[in-house]
Amino acid sequence: MKEKFVEALKELRKSSEKRKFEQTIDLIINLKNFDIRKESVSLFIPLPHESTSKKICAFLETPSEIFDKVITKPELEKWKDKKKLKGLAKDYSFFVAIAPLMPTIAMLFGKTLGPLGKMPDPKAGGVLMRFNEQEAKQLAERLKKSVRVKTKEASIKVSIGKENMSDDNLGENAEVLYNAVMNALTKKKENIKSVMLKFTMSKPIKIKI
């Protein structure tokens, strides 16, 4: 599949008008025979290459420079303001925490972060039993390269990177993402109607699968 993605990227670059900003490249996977009311896909997928800049906020007992922002235990109560909370949720891609703080986090942040799918998630390794510097560094590095896929409709659209990345790296990201989604579907490839790539401002290019 990687070769097909690389070929499509080359075609996109030739046919797309150059913009004054760095465009994002999206992978679009349209589904079929998929009942959104009964079926769902919810994944954290680590990509080979960092796709877009992601910021991580951590809930910890003490400060740490590993994450972009740290909210310590004594500071948790300061985040009761809904407007302030929404701003925090918007500014950070991922939230992580240590397990002992999770009950308080759920109570204070759950109503805001929960619906956005941004609560610290054990499935993504986002809940540490205790703070360990090496584990925290590994978690931060993995999340910086990860994307969240959650089906809300019968079409999945996820960024695989920016146009300044090489076609080879973008192709690898697309292949890993496609395979992870396909393998998570009940009927695998039979659930996939079509696959496309597009720049932010371009028309999509369909890929033969």
Looking at residue 37, its pLDDT comes to 86
Enclosing H/E stretch for 168: helix 167-184
Does the fold of domain 56-144 match that of domain 2-50+147-207? no
pLDDT along the chain (209 residues), means of 10: 94 88 94 89 91 93 95 91 91 95 94 91 89 93 90 92 95 97 94 96 91
pLDDT of residue 208: 87
pLDDT at 134 (0 to 100):
94
Residues 132-146 pLDDT 10s: 999 999 999 999 999
- What is the model's pLDDT at position 49? 93
Architecture of the domain made up of 56-144: 3-Layer(aba) Sandwich (3.40)
In this prediction, residue 197 carries a pLDDT of 97
Between vectors from CA 11 to CA 9 and to CA 13, what angle results, nearest 5°? 70
Structure tokens at 45: 């997928």
CB 197 within 8 A of CB 205: yes
Domain coordinates in residue numbering, the chain: 2-50+147-207, 56-144
Question: What is the reported pLDDT for 39?
Answer: 87
In the prediction, which pLDDT does 59 show? 97
Q: What is the pLDDT of residue 42?
A: 86
| CATH of the structural domain 2-50+147-207, one choice from 3.30.190.20, 3.40.50.11890, 3.60.10.10, 3.40.50.920 | 3.30.190.20
* Beta-strand pair 205-207/192-199: antiparallel
Q: How many Å apart are CA 13 and CA 39, to the nearest integer?
A: 36
β-bridge pairing 94-98 and 69-72: unpaired
